[in-house]
Structure 1
Amino acid sequence: MNKLVKGLAAAGVAAAMSQGAVAACGDVTIAEMNWASAEFMANVDKIILEEGYGCTVELVPGATLTTFASMDTKGVPDIAPELWTQSVDVPLKAAIASGSLHKMNPKPILGAGEGWVVPSYTLENHPELKSVLDVIERPDLFPYNEDPTKGAFVGCPAGWGCQQINNNLFTAFDMEAKGWVLVDPGSAAGLDGAMAKAVQRGDDYFGYYWSPTAMMGKYNMQMLDFGVPFQGMDDWLACTTQAECADPQPTSWSVSEINTIATDSFMKNNDPKAAAYIKGREYPAAAMGAMLVYMADNQAGGEDAAIEFLVNHEDVWTQWVGVQAANLIKKSLN
């Protein structure tokens, strides 16, 4: 009888310890933002936190401004996996200074940002093109279909925030005098269509785009170094981004600030190992591009893409978690 009682007591202690380990993580809310990479990341975080660390995760719909406002004023959701923070820079700094929010991961996606791009084969065929400055000297490689004597640079559609930036940079680099035409693609579909048509034909292409996106991954587009230093945020905000900028100067594109943001409640009340995972995960550009292409080609949502990633990219995500968590996650996928 004593052995039985001791056995039951030991089992009870073990069960309590197990439940305590799961409870240590507790409930977590994660913003599932309304673009593909952020939707995908939220679902990867959900699976890893639930299966690897015993959290109970709820995904909540999100967008940059609304998610930040909710986190800042209500403390919900706990985590925004991919927050482009430049648009909320001032209130975010205030929230961080007060301790209510934390920057968890300054590089959740390697190689993310905006700028001017060309296909990879353009650089392979013309190794002398090292930067935007080099490309600008070769309008002959990118003939404009309405006037082949000029080069075509495809900018942003009218109404996009990046349109004025491209207009000012086009002026700053004196591109019209060097034989270029600034092409307005008309819409997001027009921008994507111009790139797709050129690459499918094997033509050289030069224009604006951003990463991570399915288009960058599918067509193996390469972001160019501008070949000139960034002139600083004061000049960027006062002139480069403004319609009334009288004398724009050559500059690199501003560095995009993308962070994973978490609430103070998550930091204090959830498993430190879960926080360590969030802090340490970085998606290589190639892996992220491949997943966005998978989502586009298969009309897949974030959950399906997350499973596809965890099954086929163990070499990436197992570097973010401990051995025990990795084994639990792998087991859940079988």
Structure 2
Amino acid sequence: MNKLLASAIFAAGLSAFASGARADCGSVSIAEMNWASAGVAANVDKIILEEGYGCSVEMVSGDTLPTFTSMNEKGQPDIAPELWINAVRTPLDKAVGEGRLVIAAEILSEGGQDGWWIPKFLADAHTEIKTVQQALERPDLFPSSEDPSKGAIYNCPPGWQCQASLGNLFRALDGEEKGFEIVETGSGAALDGTIASAFEKKTGWLGYYWSPTAILGKYEMVRLSFGVQHDKAEWDACTSVIDCAEPKVNSYPVSEVYSVVTKRFADEAGVAMEYLKKRKWANATVNSVLAWQTDNQGTYEDAARHFLETMPETWTQWVSPEVAEKVKAAL
């Protein structure tokens, strides 16, 4: 009886140890931001942290400034998978310097990309067009649906900061004198509709867009150069300011997009923190996943599972073989 009791106690101890080993990560809260790429990233993290590392994950609705403020002041949530840090750079640097927050991987390996784009089929047919200036020499290739005698440059939706930069760059490039007009789209959906229509009709399209997005996963576009380096001082003082008096040609900044975690998580999560230090993906990968989500009317979780099931060559580089097998078994 004593041997049986000892064996039972030993077995229970092993079971508790195993559970403890899986639970080293503990309880984790993840910000599920309210835009698609970040929402999918949060759900990828949830699945990998739960199934691969034994974490207990809670999803928390988020947005850039509210999430950063809460992490900085309250230590919650633990993880912001996709934080566009240009909006919070100064206070983030202070929070990192004072030991409240920790920057993990740059989740978008190429950063967030704004700019003026044209369809790839048009770029392939007109290889001489590499820059915005070269595109503006050919208004005939980008006819406006409102006035076909003019070229069209499609603007971003009302209220977005990019309206200021597009308007200023249009004036700096003498867009009106070169036969172009700015076409207001009215909404994100309407802007997407103009791109879809251009591809269906195989007509030229020139305008503002950004990556990563579902549209760029569905329709191949080429981002044009402005022929100059990004001038941050000029951008802050004029390019991004509505109706700047004397705008100059400038390039859009590449937005740095990082995963940010609380100091508590970084100190206590163990190997799970190593995963977040490695976890990054290319814009083309994100675009593809978001296009699948849109076409299949999927949720963020659906898209995350699609990514994990169909692109193991990407995410298995972020984790150990043992963790990868646990995640695969759970899908």
Q: Which residue of 2 aligns with 1:260?
A: 259
Output the CA distance in 2 between the equivalents of 1:255 and 1:287: 18
Kindly state the Cα deviation for residue 275 of structure 1 after the two structures are TM-superposed: 0.9
Which residue type is aligned with residue 202 of structure 1?
Answer: K
Q: Which residue of 2 aligns with 1:238?
A: 237
Output the CA distance in 1 between the equivalents of 2:41 and 2:54: 18
Q: Which residue of 2 aligns with 1:119?
A: 119
SS of equivalent residue, structure 1 residue 82: strand
- Percent identical among aligned pairs is 47
Output the CA distance in 1 between the equivalents of 2:211 and 2:91: 25
SS of equivalent residue, structure 2 residue 150: strand
SS of equivalent residue, structure 1 residue 163: helix
Output the CA distance in 2 between the equivalents of 1:285 and 1:162: 20
Which residue type is aligned with residue 262 of structure 2?
Answer: T
For residues 121-140 of structure 1, the C-alpha deviation after alignment (integer angstroms, 9 at most, x for no partner) is 11111122222232222222
For residues 144-196 of structure 1, the C-alpha deviation after alignment (integer angstroms, 9 at most, x for no partner) is 23333321111123322110110001111122222211111122232122111
Output the CA distance in 2 between the equivalents of 1:6 and 1:112: 59
Q: Is the 8 A contact 1:52 1:326 kept in 2?
A: yes
Q: Which residue of 2 aligns with 1:213?
A: 213
Q: How does 1:1-334 map to 2 (within 5 A)?
A: 8=8, 11-108=11-108, 110=110, 112-231=112-231, 233-271=232-270, 273-333=271-331
Report how many residues are paired.
Answer: 331
Kindly state the Cα deviation for residue 249 of structure 1 after the two structures are TM-superposed: 0.9
Output the CA distance in 2 between the equivalents of 1:2 and 1:126: 86
| Structure 2, gaps ≥5 residues long | none
Output the CA distance in 2 between the equivalents of 1:102 and 1:120: 39
Which residue type is aligned with residue 207 of structure 2?
Answer: G
For residues 193-235 of structure 1, the C-alpha deviation after alignment (integer angstroms, 9 at most, x for no partner) is 211111111111110011111111111222223221111x221
Against the structure 1 CA distance between its residues 20 and 157, is the aligned structure 2 distance closer, same or farther, given a 3 Å change threshold? closer
Kindly state the Cα deviation for residue 110 of structure 1 after the two structures are TM-superposed: 3.6
Which residue type is aligned with residue 77 of structure 2?
Answer: P
Output the CA distance in 2 between the equivalents of 1:16 and 1:107: 35
The alignment's TM-score, normalised by the length of structure 2, stands at 0.94
Output the CA distance in 2 between the equivalents of 1:109 and 1:306: 18
Q: Is the 8 A contact 2:156 2:162 kept in 1?
A: yes
Output the CA distance in 2 between the equivalents of 1:205 and 1:79: 38
Q: Is the 8 A contact 1:108 1:260 kept in 2?
A: no
Which residue type is aligned with residue 242 of structure 2?
Answer: A
Which residue type is aligned with residue 66 of structure 2?
Answer: T
Q: Is the 8 A contact 1:110 1:282 kept in 2?
A: no
* Higher mean C-alpha deviation, range 163-172 or range 289-298: 289-298
Which residue type is aligned with residue 291 of structure 1?
Answer: V
Q: Is the 8 A contact 1:144 1:152 kept in 2?
A: yes
SS of equivalent residue, structure 2 residue 88: helix
Q: Is the 8 A contact 1:108 1:281 kept in 2?
A: no
> Considering only aligned residues, what root-mean-square deviation do their CA atoms show, in Å?
1.8
Kindly state the Cα deviation for residue 12 of structure 1 after the two structures are TM-superposed: 4.2
Kindly state the Cα deviation for residue 250 of structure 1 after the two structures are TM-superposed: 0.8
Output the CA distance in 2 between the equivalents of 1:286 and 1:256: 16
For residues 93-112 of structure 1, the C-alpha deviation after alignment (integer angstroms, 9 at most, x for no partner) is 21111110111122435453
The alignment's TM-score, normalised by the length of structure 1, stands at 0.93
Q: Is the 8 A contact 2:151 2:179 kept in 1?
A: yes
Kindly state the Cα deviation for residue 10 of structure 1 after the two structures are TM-superposed: 5.2
Which residue type is aligned with residue 27 of structure 1?
Answer: S
Against the structure 1 CA distance between its residues 289 and 244, is the aligned structure 2 distance closer, same or farther, given a 3 Å change threshold? closer
